[in-house]
Structure 1
Amino acid sequence: MKKHEHIVKKVQSGSIAEELGIEPGDRLLEIDGNVIEDIFDYQFYVEAEELVVLVEKPDGEQWEMEIEKEADEGLGIEFEEGLMDEYHSCHNKCIFCFIDQMPPGMRETLYFKDDDSRLSFLQGNYITLTNMSDKDVERIVRYRLEPINISFQTTNPELRCKMLHNRFAGEALKKVDILYQGGIEMNGQIVLCKGVNDGEELERSIRDLTGYLPMLKSVSVVPVGLTKYREGLYPMTPFTKEDAREVIRVIHKWQEKVYKEYGTHFIHAGDEWYLLAEMEVPQEESYDGYLQLENGVGMLRLLFNEFEEAFGKLTGDDRVEELSVATAKLAYPYVDRMARRMQEKYPGLKIHTYCIRNDFFGERITVSGLITGQDLMAQLKDQELGERLLIPCNMLKMDEDIFLDDFTLDEVADTLQVPIDIVKSSGQDFVNAILGIDTRRNRDKQNVKDRRIESV
């Protein structure tokens, strides 16, 4: 396929495209005489109420179609390439990169390092700005593509070059000024590395980043993830309980200062800091509407508050059931607390809660999204699991029932000899799953096969 010729994958039923006779396999060439570079160009040009679309049929015949529609009405076309272009990969060699710390032999897509501003807008990915051209920045401002999520690490240009192992990384920070002046909303992230960008450097970064308020809506500070696969990589030291408490102290100090002036807390500590510090996560009002949930900021507070709201509506009954819940270290204290509360209201419930240690990546990895099937099987094979096992949905691939290590949900259920229910992400979902309401199960219990952990 030639560049900028975009193959139609699907046409939505009842859409403008279907009415015009556009079909899968057709190629989109131009809109209003403009070559479409990627999904951003496409979305920008199709917003017009009147447009001319040039399409090429598989036999080479070209159709030019004049369209009149509502401004917010799409054409109903899906393309074979989601971005209508190749993904932009990362050219940095960051000292904290998680992908560099992954073991060999996993599926190929897990090793792809993206640094694509389009994915920042579409999916919330964080970008370093080093992979962005002046044209990319201009298009973000022109098309109002916001918010853009930026992985800062530090505002010290020399230190940023060192951390990203890219001599242009410091210069790339100037693009933030252009986005700010263009009125583009942003969110930021600092991956904190002990002895590198913490301490005085963290204070400097927070101070500098407050200068981008109010367009920079929030900045999260998260601890570097350290797996056991770091041979030959930049030497890193894990944070201690005392370190975590100091990071939280600095962040809370700046929250208080910024809130007085701007009415927002702005800088936030990832949930992992509170686990490491053995402290409760802050109350909901500290999170400014949960702007960085997907970055692990406020997830535990939101989960528990949603649970409390749902729990308060329950009346309890005399049901009798034994079941189990498995999660990772980060969420375990809150999941266990919620399970105990459910047993208080439903005395006939016997709920076993299990904290799954991450042996695959290493014990310092504490999030449930990185728990593998083999760790579940190895650590639960001799445990009391009851009539069913609950696991969070983020242990599985988004569109398929497989774990990071390619074990399937059914294989894990077969090995453990228990049906597995998948729990969605909210506190209400947790309540529903415990009560057996609206759950998604891997299979019926009678179909579970006898499969031994020794096969792992």
Structure 2
Amino acid sequence: MTATCIHEYPGKPARPAARILAVEEGSPADDAGFTPGCVITAVDGNPLRDILDWQWYSDGDEISLSYIDTEGDSGEVELYREEGESWGITFDGALFDGIRTCRNACVFCFMRQLPKEVRDSLVLRDDDWRLSFLQGNFVTLTNLSDEDAELIIERQISPLRVSLHAVTPEVRQKMIGKHAPHGIEMMERLLAGGIELHAQIVLVPGMNDGAELARTLAWAYLREGIRNVGIVPLGFTKHQTRFEKSFDAPEDALAVIEAVEPFQKHAQAERGYPWVYLADEFYCNAYPEGVLAHVPPTEHYGDFSMFEDGIGIVRTQMDEWAACVEAQHRLASTLTEENALVYYVLGEAQRGVTDALLKDSPLDGLLVPLFVKNEHFGGNVDVTGLLCGSDVARAIRGVSAHDFVVVPRIMFNSDGVTLDDMTVDDIRDTAGMPVCVVSCSAAEYLAEIEELVAG
């Protein structure tokens, strides 16, 4: 096997194939001569469709790898390892046969509501059960094949995160499309096979709320394999004409809270945890004044497993802020000594919580939240993570050059780019104002801001 390293393997080897990104020095793969750029096509004759196949077939201490090296030559090699030793291979991605895309027509699909000029990756509608297990994506299971279901059950690949939304056939079909019944069938099949599910409901006014929400929760509660349910409100942009409201009005949000509470109390008494959880927006919208008093306590959220779905973020912020009193005083002292203000850019959804946290703190009037309206997406999009660079640049143009502006890291992807393809340098240039990126965690951003101001 050659040791030549190239960035792309030559030719078009038959898919699926797994490209090696890195090889651990001194590992069995290194000893066998594998290098970045080599492609593994099979383990013991079994093609690799994804990292799950690799983990399953390479579980022993002796394997035969079929490969294509960096010069296009193919072959097979035997690898051996000691008990507990890694093979030493890191692959370039988790899916080797491509992402399985969505075949549904969900009325609430956020990616169908984006501006036409967005980059392609933002409108890629994946519905891949493997990403549900590996990355926590929610999937409908409407494209799950019999072979997929058998494999999941055989290997006990669990838990999975599934989009439930509704259980009445007519409602499901109206919300998801003609393949909706298949998703329910597959949920039942996986549950019968011992697979645990975390379910999500995107709540749409007049469609799956009210009596339908009660039916859906009752159906899910009877299936013990559904470990919990998260409910998130409909999000809509200005780039569509179907929706004009969600649960933004206090009375609408409060109605959902009150409808869910009986299920939570019953589950708490019977199972020891609330089982069904509401996204933070419901509490923030229901109690625009005094929201901190109505957010559930820390123990309500358990291990915060639904944090990425916007469930428990506010409680985490409250707890972190309470634990950082000393850091608040240090930053307040530094800002006073430097006669400076710091503007912290946030989405409008953070207004009630952030204002309340700052009100009785030493940073009141020194750390100034700058709530930015999301004009790029419009609609009811108001969370910090969906802020766009163009809106931020416009909002900070009037800030004094003597003061500091910080933006949360959550606005940027792993490449340092916002949803409208702006870097922090682009924001600086457009606004004509220095901008620094900081964490969203109070313990971190208070220290980062203090270092920025003092430095």
The aligned counterpart of 1:238 is 246
Q: Once the 2 structures are TM-superposed, how far is the Cα of residue 31 of structure 1 from its aligned partner? A: 1.3
The aligned counterpart of 2:33 is 21
CA displacement 1:113-139 (0-9 Å, x = unmatched)? 010111111111100110111221222
For the pair 1:414 / 2:429, whether they are aligned, the reply is yes
Q: CA RMSD in A?
A: 2.4
For 1:45-444, list aligned pairs within 5 A.
45-57=57-69, 58-71=71-84, 73-165=85-177, 167-213=178-224, 215-231=225-241, 234-235=242-243, 237-239=245-247, 240-278=249-287, 279=291, 280-311=294-325, 316=330, 318-319=333-334, 320=337, 321-340=340-359, 342-344=361-363, 350-384=366-400, 386-397=402-413, 399-436=414-451
Q: Which amino acid aligns with 2:343?
A: S
More moved, 108-117 vs 270-279: 270-279
Q: Once the 2 structures are TM-superposed, how far is the Cα of residue 210 of structure 1 from its aligned partner? A: 0.6
Compared with structure 1, are the counterparts of its residues 401 and 340 closer, same or farther at alpha carbon in structure 2 (3 Å cutoff)? Answer: farther
CA distance in 1, matches of 2:379, 2:355: 19
CA distance in 2, matches of 1:413, 1:237: 34
CA displacement 1:212-267 (0-9 Å, x = unmatched)? 22x32221111110111113xx4554333211101011112210011111111010
More moved, 56-65 vs 117-126: 56-65
**Per the alignment, in what secondary structure is the counterpart of residue 435 of structure 1?**
helix
The aligned counterpart of 2:5 is none
The aligned counterpart of 2:4 is none
**Per the alignment, in what secondary structure is the counterpart of residue 451 of structure 2?**
coil
More moved, 323-332 vs 5-14: 5-14
Q: Once the 2 structures are TM-superposed, how far is the Cα of residue 414 of structure 1 from its aligned partner? A: 2.7
For structure 2, the residue ranges without an aligned partner over 5 or more in a row are 1-11
Instruction: Indicate conservation of the 8 Å contact 2:404/2:435, yes or no.
Output: yes
Instruction: Indicate conservation of the 8 Å contact 1:55/1:63, yes or no.
Output: yes
**Per the alignment, in what secondary structure is the counterpart of residue 333 of structure 2?**
coil
Instruction: Indicate conservation of the 8 Å contact 1:46/1:74, yes or no.
Output: no
Q: Once the 2 structures are TM-superposed, how far is the Cα of residue 386 of structure 1 from its aligned partner? A: 4.7
The aligned counterpart of 2:9 is none
Q: Once the 2 structures are TM-superposed, how far is the Cα of residue 77 of structure 1 from its aligned partner? A: 2.1
Instruction: Indicate conservation of the 8 Å contact 2:43/2:63, yes or no.
Output: yes
Compared with structure 1, are the counterparts of its residues 253 and 195 closer, same or farther at alpha carbon in structure 2 (3 Å cutoff)? Answer: same
Q: Once the 2 structures are TM-superposed, how far is the Cα of residue 282 of structure 1 from its aligned partner? A: 1.4
CA displacement 1:405-445 (0-9 Å, x = unmatched)? 11221121233344323222323123323423799xxxx9x
CA distance in 2, matches of 1:438, 1:45: 54
Residues matched between the structures, number? 431
**Per the alignment, in what secondary structure is the counterpart of residue 343 of structure 1?**
coil
**Per the alignment, in what secondary structure is the counterpart of residue 330 of structure 1?**
helix
Instruction: Indicate conservation of the 8 Å contact 2:244/2:379, yes or no.
Output: no
CA distance in 1, matches of 2:57, 2:123: 34
